[in-house]
Amino acid sequence: MDMKILMSSLLFLATALMVFVSVLCYRKRHLPVSKTMVLIMWAAAFYAFGYAFEVLSRDLNEVKWSLHIEYVGIPFVTTLWFFQVIQFTGTAARYRKILALALFAVPAAVFVLQLTNDWHHLVYERYNLNDEGTIPLYTTDKGPWYKVHSVYNYFVLLCGVLLFIPMYWRSLPIVRKQILVLLLGALAPMFFNLFFWTGLSVDLTPFGFAISGAAYVFGILRFNLLRLTPLAMAKVFETIRDGVVLFDYENQIVSYNSAAEEVLPELGRKKRYPAAMGEVLSPYPELFERIRAVNDKDERFPFDRFREDRKKYYTCSLSLIYDTGHVLIGKMLMFNDITELKNSEARLRENAQQLSELNAFKDKLFTVVAHDIRDPIALLVSLTELLGDELAAADLEHAELVRELKGQVQSTFHLVENLLDWYRSQKGKVVFRPLGWNLQQVVRQALFLSGAKAGMKQIQMTERVDDNLMVKADKEMLDLILRNLLSNAIKFTGIGGCIEIRSVLEGDRVIVSVSDNGEGIDELTAELLHLEEPFLKAMVSGDDSGDTRFGLALTREFVKIHGGRLWFNSEPGIGTTFSFTLPSLADARDGFDDGGTEGNTDESDFGGR
């Protein structure tokens, strides 16, 4: 095969390869580095394409036209590569446009001078017919601007290499491979270009660009070249809030971020990296040994140190880094600052201790209430009852005053009783023993016990409860629920009023209602009942409703223990109905205790007789 045909065919293949690389890069054109790579490949493609035509040229005129095609790329390709290095490394980001104008001034001048070379001969002084061989057809005597351009190309190439060297040593392994690919893309053409300066008449530089194209294809497909530039990776690395330190497979510190330097200031004192781990971490022998010993799995461990007279706490995560062949290539250490969490835990422990002490004091306080206050008040209740009976019998003028005193003492005693019941329920000391009970008998017992108090106000109390209706409940709790609701109804019902207890079965629940025609519920009590929380603060309200509110709160808690709920309807001046639910018992007479007095009537009157 003719040498010209062979060489031109190879040059056309090199052109096609570089066009293919530009297409791959164009897919990632949103990255500035990729746009520059497209321009580099097109410049190299014009160089190779034009040189192929120069090889096939038959006269001087065709040679000159071929050179015009070549010089669309020749002046710019090396400068474009250097500009790509600037983008890749993030150099002079603020002055990128001004720098581009300065860098491309010489290539633009060479391009214009070559187009007008026949007027001034500053690029090529003369063209000489090649009598010794067929390639090239003409040799040239180089002009001053050709030499200027050559020196400029080697200068920008050297600058690019110098920018890459420090980045290479501080980069991750995958980024190092990308840097090597880009270096090969520049050095291969320059290496072939050196043969041209040794006296070889054939310019092998385009074949160097073919090698560059092959290297770029390999880098894009194998190392994700241009997928994420080191500048972007560095920004991600620096913006991580946790401290990160990278080690190579020899346990040398390769890189770290600013957050890591805050944890270990010794990192910033070392001027050159990679650095031996032992030199930097010598003040922390335990940390050094931990990192050095890990070779088979990731680890997490605590780390703390004093800094600025304050102890700092960290959780360290040590991860192993593998390449695609599952070969260990390094380690990554991350510091997560948990100082505030530790301080919060300390404050919580302190608060818990204080709360425990307060609870112990509260327990002592309720013990005093139970033994040193309840018993004297109970005695006082008995004394006022005896005194009231004697004064009433003697018809003395102070009998009414004593009856009022008796009422206040009894109210205080009931409040203390309710308070102690609530305290036992909150401490878990109230034992819940649900059994089957005849609801009518339990209600009648509660009405019987409240009859004397209702009789004093001539209040008529009735019950409408089915005599076969059974509920599953704790007898003591159910008595307290009914006692509180009846006591409140009597208290707020006027003389000659009426109170009614009724029940209805709905599915597996029994709804029990206590209705009166009294004055209704005041706004504060209604609001507190809707809060769905114990309202101890109501006890200190200072009015006569404090014990009522507390009794209702305790009633609601005991209803909840039974799995039910308590609600009310009230209209001022018309009356109030409190309702609550209890679980029903299917078997009417099996397995229940007698709740009190017997009777089978559907309607009964208590009090006021």
Using one digit for the tens of pLDDT, what is the confidence trace for 144-158?
A: 998 898 899 889 888
Higher-confidence position of 335 and 362: 335
Q: For 10-22, what is the mean pLDDT?
A: 84
**Cα–Cα separations (whole angstroms), residue 282 to 81, 287, 334:** 43, 9, 18
pLDDT in tens, 445-497: 889 878 877 887 889 999 999 988 999 998 888 988 998 899 888 888 888 99
The pLDDT of residue 605: 41
Task: For residue 1, give the amino acid letter.
Answer: M
- Of the candidate ranges 121-125, 258-262, 414-418, the one whose mean pLDDT is the lowest: 414-418
The pLDDT of residue 106: 93
pLDDT class for 40, splitting at 50, 70, 90?
A: confident
- Of the candidate ranges 33-47, 224-238, 310-324, 571-585, the one whose mean pLDDT is the lowest: 224-238
Ranges of each domain in the chain: 3-231, 238-343, 345-425, 431-583
- Of the candidate ranges 184-193, 411-420, 543-552, the one whose mean pLDDT is the lowest: 543-552
The pLDDT of residue 389: 66
Strands (E) located in 451-526: 460-464, 470-473, 498-506, 509-516
pLDDT in tens, 292-320: 888 778 888 898 888 767 888 899 988 88
Q: For 322-326, what is the mean pLDDT?
A: 63
Higher-confidence position of 208 and 110: 110
Q: For 562-583, what is the mean pLDDT?
A: 90
Fold of 238-343: Beta-Lactamase (3.30.450)
Contact 513, 502 (CB under 8 A): yes
The pLDDT of residue 13: 86
The pLDDT of residue 594: 43
* Average pLDDT for the chain: 77
The pLDDT of residue 607: 39
Question: How far is Cα 113 from Cα 565, in angstroms, rounded to an integer?
Answer: 98
Which is it for strands 460-464 and 498-506: parallel, antiparallel or unpaired?
Answer: parallel
The pLDDT of residue 81: 82
The pLDDT of residue 133: 64
Q: For 262-287, what is the mean pLDDT?
A: 84
Residue 563: which region, alpha, beta or left (left: phi > 0; alpha: psi -120 to 50)? left
Question: How far is Cα 24 from Cα 110, in angstroms, rounded to an integer?
Answer: 29
Higher-confidence position of 115 and 329: 115
Q: What is the DSSP string of 8-42?
A: HHHHHHHHHHHHHHHHHHHTTTTSHHHHHHHHHHH
Given a cut of 70, is residue 371 above it in pLDDT? no
Would you give the DSSP letter of residue 177? Answer: H
The pLDDT > 70 percentage for the chain reads 74
Cis check: omega of the bond before 136, within 30 degrees of 0: yes
Fold of 431-583: Heat Shock Protein 90 (3.30.565)
Cis check: omega of the bond before 173, within 30 degrees of 0: no
Span 3-231 CATH architecture = Up-down Bundle (1.20)
Q: For 38-63, what is the mean pLDDT?
A: 87
Phi first, then psi: what are they for 110, rounded to 5°? Answer: -65, -40
pLDDT in tens, 389-425: 666 666 656 666 676 677 677 767 776 776 666 666 6
pTM: 0.44
**Cα–Cα separations (whole angstroms), residue 540 to 105, 415, 543, 544, 550:** 89, 12, 8, 10, 10
Q: For 214-234, what is the mean pLDDT?
A: 59
The pLDDT of residue 548: 61
The pLDDT of residue 347: 86
Q: For 563-591, what is the mean pLDDT?
A: 80
Task: For residue 89, give the amino acid letter.
Answer: T
Question: How far is Cα 73 from Cα 22, in angstroms, rounded to an integer?
Answer: 14
What's the maximum distance between 2 C-alpha atoms anywhere in the chain? 157
Highest mean pLDDT among 104-118, 210-224, 320-334, 555-569: 104-118
Question: How far is Cα 250 from Cα 253, in angstroms, rounded to an integer?
Answer: 9
Given a cut of 60, is residue 532 above it in pLDDT? no
Q: For 248-267, what is the mean pLDDT?
A: 83
Higher-confidence position of 351 and 436: 436
- Of the candidate ranges 90-94, 439-443, 450-454, the one whose mean pLDDT is the lowest: 90-94
The pLDDT of residue 519: 84
Give just the sign of the alpha carbon dihedral 345, 346, 351, 355: positive
Highest mean pLDDT among 136-140, 244-248, 314-318: 314-318
User: Residue 217, Cα to own-chain centre: how many angstroms?
Assistant: 40
Given a cut of 70, is residue 255 above it in pLDDT? yes
Given a cut of 80, is residue 499 above it in pLDDT? yes
Collapsing DSSP states into helix, strand and coil, what is residue 535? coil
The pLDDT of residue 598: 36
Given a cut of 90, is residue 14 above it in pLDDT? no
pLDDT class for 528, splitting at 50, 70, 90?
A: low
